[in-house]
Structure 1
Amino acid sequence: MVANLVRSLPFWFLLQRRALRPPPSLSPPSSLARAEGRLQLGKIEVDAYDRLVNDCGRPLYPIEFLDDVSASFPTGPIRGPNNQLYYVVTGDPYRHQELLRPWLEDIAAGRYFDSWHGETRTEYPWEIFQKQWMRWVMFRRWQKDNRDLADGDGGLEEYLEVNKRYAKRYYGELVGADELSKLEDDQSWLERRWKYEQQMRELQRHHCCESRPTGPAFPNYVDAVKRRLARHDFKRPFELNQDPEQQGKLETWIEYLYFEYWWLDLFTLAIEQRQQKCDEVWRKLGDAAALRPGETTDYIRTEQCAMLCVDEERQARADVKRAKEIVEDILEATRLDLRRPSSPQSERIPRLQQGHQGVDRAQMLLERAMKRSGLIKEFKSLTDDLETAKRDAARHRILLQWILDQVPLIEAELGRNEIVSGLDGIRGSKAIKRKLGGSDGDKTTCQTGIEKRRKLGPSRSNGMVILDSEIQQKQVVPFIVSGTGETPPRDKQQRSQAREPRARHLRRTQAAREAAREAASQGLRRSARKPDVSPFGSNFRKSAEATTRGDPVQPARVPPGRGDAKLPAERKKRAMHRAHQEPVLSTR
């Protein structure tokens, strides 16, 4: 029967415990075997982390710390010499205790229902993500049950496929092939396990659910959520969605907070009920005079008191047996005396009565010892259940505090996302301005204020902006001032007519006009060659480069017929207009 019960347990539930079974041999396993087992457990933990994140859960800590956290806890049990179990300690178990405190202990360790338990436990204390994922799955089912929604898990076929994928991923190459062959050959045991899980699922729907009054299910559930949260001083406004998949991240987390508050109230109610039962049993002990002088509630829960009760009950049973043997001896002697007329009846009857009185006395002492032992056992059991409920409630308050601390973090994350989506253009513009005003030698293009507003302004349709990389593709070019090429300083690289002072703008315009007049007087014009994009020709570029190197500047040679006197008025006007609009010289 035990074997059938074990086979009916969930598949993932067995896998976690199968890895923890001590090896059958007396010799400890090799380091390679321990490393493979540790790696397998790590894969299960990583998988639980991924599932939790993908389902909008919140892991306790980043996955990068998993190796360090797992290495700080003992490894085992390992069966060593003399068939003893040992634990290998490779780190400091108290190193991450404060970090793991909200999820370190098992949840709902006590039994609160007749045929179903909501316990969330793992074999190793560092398997936090598995514990979080199991709890999150229970919460997701809670959401569907209180909305009258089906699970949608795909039924038996999907269950079989999940187990096959699980075997491929988490077993070794040889063991995985063996497990897959077993699954392909005989799937009846998986079918039985699936049916058992469906039975447990029905029990969860019955026990782990908000009480429903008459009326529409979902509105009543929403009212119950708000009332319970208000009793626990959580009064932030929120609205739940009848479809949990369409519900917001913050609302889902608040509903999860309510789910754990439901469990805390369950623990609190169990504490009150079990405390009342303990008081009743203690009064029964006093009324039955079963308490000895000096016996307290702490003493009768000790192992010494339990052993004393066992000894007293054993002694009382022995006394009853001895008293019955005495009566049998008296009866046998009486039968012998009946053959002798000299044995009067007045002597035989008192002897028989005395023997029966001894049996009755011994039987009464046995019943008293059994009653005392039974009441003490009941009191001890109820007290243990009471202490378990108190521990569950205490550790659940720690978990609830962590859940409450996540609420402002989620609000901040959602607020940042809204700010980024709404002010994306403004942030992009500020980032580009900081980039343009970078360190010395940063070759970025100067742009006019109109061009900046056209490229960097936020779009009203989609909020898209021009990135820094689009501006960094251009280079800084020198100004034309008095016939020489000068690289503008950083403060002048950000040329925005809308923000520069008017005096600086006038000085820059006047210098550009003087340069244009000088260029026009020398007869310079835009070169017709494609490689030269300068509006003034290659000769002036050479003179500018020579000036930059410190060489004497040679006057530009003007072709005959292209001087100032031969230029038409319209051409001179266009040249001056180009010099005013494009007061820069390309360095290519």
Structure 2
Amino acid sequence: MTHETTVDDILNLSDSALVQFLQKARNPMGNFDGLKIQGWENASPAKKELLGEKLRTAVKQVTAAPLDIEELAARLTAAAAAMDTPSRPSRGRSLTLSPEPRIIEDFESACYHELIEDGGRPPFPLSRLEEVLNDPESHHELLRPWVQDLRSRSRDDGQAISRERDRWLDFRKWQLDNRGIAADEGFPEYLEAKRRDYKAMKASELTDDPEFEDTMRRRWERERGNCQQQQDRNDRGVEIFSAYAEVAKRRLADHGFTQPLQLEEDPKRQDQWTTWVEYLEFEYWWLDRLTSSVKSLQSQHDMACKTLTAAKVLKGTEREEDLVTTEAEQRRKTEANEATLALCLAEEASTLVQQATNTRKRYKASRGAQKLGAAKELIDVTRRNEAIGEFMRKTEKYRAVQASEQRQLYKVQWVLQQVSEIKAAQILPPREEKPKLTEGGKRMRQGDDGALPRSNVKRRKEKHGEEDTAGALLGSEAAPVTKQRSARIRGTSTADAVPIPARTSATSRQRQSRRTAAAPSRERLKSLRPRDAGGRVKPLGRPEST
């Protein structure tokens, strides 16, 4: 059956409607051979790029097989190439971009700076970008919130910064939607961001396309529609900010987040912590939506599990997670090929035995039993693979939604960590000022008011012999000392000078007591001075008469 449509029809479809259309266009083998898109060869590069992105997103929801996406892209590209003359290659742009590693690094770097400027928090420092891009496997835990498929590994997993940037833009649109802000507000920033994206990926021809802005506006409107909040039944359709704020608080409380939250009608007036708590509520909303989808598909999944168990084709302790891996699927294909080959060999051997006239009957019977055993093995393998394949098809959507739920849970945990770090940074006490050091590197003692003691100033002045050293070190406190000393040097009266305040600190008194205790008494000094013949103390500095 052929399913025909046009480029514009697909672009006008909502995401859910496009998924339903692709489900109908998909044949029993899981391919899209019956899908024909008219107008592809005449579409502008910007439309082709938008169409490709929209189709890839929808196909991922229809099937988890990545080859089908490439096949669809190849079919559309081939259709465009068929319209060109054989003498020249097609100038149509492929739906899947394969930028060089340097281009990817530049693009991720641009997204990093855009995140920082808009209040986002990149998942890792820019200095680690190259190592993450080169070896995403070693950074799997760091990248888990941003990988596209947790069930497999990809070289693209390292492009986490751009994915977080896209998610942050979705949140910013969410903020506008739930405040009733005009639809066009925020589009200029969105358009400029897309221009930077394509230029960073060396795709400037897309930005130069006359239809680029119109195409980006349609994408903007579609993404805004996807990001609109679907409230609880009683609140659905309510776009009043006060109602949104109450629903946000209730959702946060349902998930155990009870810290006070005061959202602003103008999101630009919010501090960083409030904005990130609102971002947390945004991610909680997606988690609730995915959890609800998993629950709605649970009964269908359980029924498929019972049917598979009743078929008795599982080996030993095989579980569902053992069947859905790429390795398990490849192993089943290998078993089927080996069983088919064994049967072919048995049939060939049986034919040769039948043609031999002098072969004993016992040998003929042995070859017949071998052929029968190979046929039975092939039947068992085929029956097992068909039962598992049927189970995989019936539970495919359940597994995809469950994987999205798990990835969303990692994302919520990451946002929670960011909220905690922002809160901790806001309540940290101010750093204490380091004590001042002397020129020799020793600490200078300070009084209760933060001023340096005058004893240090005195030693500094004695060391350098400069009159204004104290003023330079102590500022206004040293002014009285300098002023009085300057008056004495000039020979003027010190009556007008500011008197030196008396030292009253405990430290000064203790030093004075130690000097007094250590000094010899006046009488003791007199007893040590020389005396004359009459026993009188000789005056100092007077030479003896000869």
**TM-score (normalizing by structure 2):** 0.51
Deviation at 1:44, TM superposition (A): 0.8
The change in CA–CA distance for 1:443 and 1:496 in structure 2 (over 3 A counts) is: farther
Q: Which whole-Å CA distance do the structure 1 matches of 2:170 and 2:189 have between them?
A: 19
Give the match for residue 167 of structure 2: 135
Q: Is the 8 A contact 2:280 2:415 kept in 1?
A: yes
Q: How does 1:406-417 map to 2 (within 5 A)?
A: 406-416=418-428
**Residue of structure 1 aligned with 2:411, choices 399, 403, 417:** 399
Give the match for residue 69 of structure 1: 132
The change in CA–CA distance for 1:477 and 1:238 in structure 2 (over 3 A counts) is: same
**What value does the CA root-mean-square deviation take over the aligned residues?**
5.7
Give the match for residue 529 of structure 2: none
Q: Are 1:250 and 2:273 an aligned pair?
A: yes
The change in CA–CA distance for 1:233 and 1:169 in structure 2 (over 3 A counts) is: closer
Secondary structure, counterpart of 2:263 in structure 1? coil
**Residue of structure 2 aligned with 1:239, choices 221, 244, 262:** 262
The change in CA–CA distance for 1:109 and 1:196 in structure 2 (over 3 A counts) is: farther
- For residues 188-232 of structure 1, the C-alpha deviation after alignment (integer angstroms, 9 at most, x for no partner) is 4x35633641463354156x5334635673233222222222222
Give the match for residue 197 of structure 1: 219
**Residue of structure 2 aligned with 1:230, choices 224, 246, 253:** 253
Q: Which whole-Å CA distance do the structure 2 matches of 1:247 and 1:50 have between them?
A: 21
The residue type paired with residue 244 of structure 2 is: Y
Q: Which whole-Å CA distance do the structure 1 matches of 2:192 and 2:268 have between them?
A: 24
Give the match for residue 374 of structure 2: none
Secondary structure, counterpart of 1:60 in structure 2? coil
Give the match for residue 274 of structure 1: 297
Give the match for residue 440 of structure 2: 440
Q: Which whole-Å CA distance do the structure 1 matches of 2:182 and 2:154 have between them?
A: 28
Q: Are 1:45 and 2:108 an aligned pair?
A: yes
The residue type paired with residue 132 of structure 2 is: V
Give the match for residue 240 of structure 2: 217
Q: Which whole-Å CA distance do the structure 1 matches of 2:333 and 2:51 have between them?
A: 34
Q: Which whole-Å CA distance do the structure 2 matches of 1:293 and 1:244 have between them?
A: 57
The residue type paired with residue 412 of structure 1 is: A
The residue type paired with residue 297 of structure 2 is: R
Q: Is the 8 A contact 1:45 1:127 kept in 2?
A: yes
The residue type paired with residue 64 of structure 1 is: S
Secondary structure, counterpart of 1:136 in structure 2? helix
Unaligned runs of 5+ in 2: 1-35, 57-68, 75-98, 337-383, 503-546
The residue type paired with residue 100 of structure 2 is: G
Q: Which whole-Å CA distance do the structure 1 matches of 2:214 and 2:155 have between them?
A: 25
- For residues 169-202 of structure 1, the C-alpha deviation after alignment (integer angstroms, 9 at most, x for no partner) is 553xxx85xx3xx755x524x3563364146335
Question: Which of the pair has more CA radius of gyration?
Answer: 1
- For residues 39-77 of structure 1, the C-alpha deviation after alignment (integer angstroms, 9 at most, x for no partner) is 22111111111111111111222212222322334xxxx
Q: Which whole-Å CA distance do the structure 2 matches of 1:229 and 1:10 have between them?
A: 37
The change in CA–CA distance for 1:375 and 1:255 in structure 2 (over 3 A counts) is: farther
The residue type paired with residue 49 of structure 1 is: Y
Secondary structure, counterpart of 2:115 in structure 1? helix
Q: Is the 8 A contact 1:478 1:485 kept in 2?
A: no
The residue type paired with residue 66 of structure 1 is: L
Give the match for residue 125 of structure 1: 157
Q: Is the 8 A contact 1:229 1:258 kept in 2?
A: yes
The residue type paired with residue 414 of structure 1 is: Q
Give the match for residue 49 of structure 2: 7
The residue type paired with residue 381 of structure 1 is: R
Q: Are 1:105 and 2:147 an aligned pair?
A: yes
Q: How does 1:159-178 map to 2 (within 5 A)?
A: 170-171=201-202
The change in CA–CA distance for 1:396 and 1:300 in structure 2 (over 3 A counts) is: closer
Deviation at 1:136, TM superposition (A): 0.9
The residue type paired with residue 296 of structure 2 is: Q
Give the match for residue 179 of structure 2: 147
Deviation at 1:397, TM superposition (A): 2.4
Q: Is the 8 A contact 1:264 1:396 kept in 2?
A: yes
The residue type paired with residue 182 of structure 2 is: A
**TM-score (normalizing by structure 1):** 0.48
Deviation at 1:576, TM superposition (A): 5.5
Secondary structure, counterpart of 2:158 in structure 1? coil
The change in CA–CA distance for 1:495 and 1:251 in structure 2 (over 3 A counts) is: closer
Q: Are 1:381 and 2:371 an aligned pair?
A: no
Deviation at 1:410, TM superposition (A): 0.8
Give the match for residue 58 of structure 1: 121
Secondary structure, counterpart of 1:253 in structure 2? helix
Identity among equivalent pairs (%): 25
Q: Is the 8 A contact 2:146 2:411 kept in 1?
A: no
Q: How does 1:209-358 map to 2 (within 5 A)?
A: 209-211=230-232, 213=234, 217-281=240-304, 291=311
The change in CA–CA distance for 1:247 and 1:308 in structure 2 (over 3 A counts) is: same
- For residues 144-173 of structure 1, the C-alpha deviation after alignment (integer angstroms, 9 at most, x for no partner) is 222222343576x887766655555553xx
The change in CA–CA distance for 1:415 and 1:255 in structure 2 (over 3 A counts) is: same
The residue type paired with residue 48 of structure 1 is: C
Q: Is the 8 A contact 1:102 1:402 kept in 2?
A: no
Q: Which whole-Å CA distance do the structure 1 matches of 2:164 and 2:394 have between them?
A: 29
- For residues 507-528 of structure 1, the C-alpha deviation after alignment (integer angstroms, 9 at most, x for no partner) is xx9xx89xx8xx9xxxxxxxxx
Q: Is the 8 A contact 1:250 1:407 kept in 2?
A: yes
Deviation at 1:443, TM superposition (A): 13
Secondary structure, counterpart of 2:274 in structure 1? helix
The change in CA–CA distance for 1:8 and 1:132 in structure 2 (over 3 A counts) is: closer
Unaligned runs of 5+ in 1: 23-35, 74-92, 111-120, 310-371, 457-467, 469-474, 498-504, 520-533, 539-561, 563-571, 584-588
Q: Is the 8 A contact 2:122 2:164 kept in 1?
A: yes
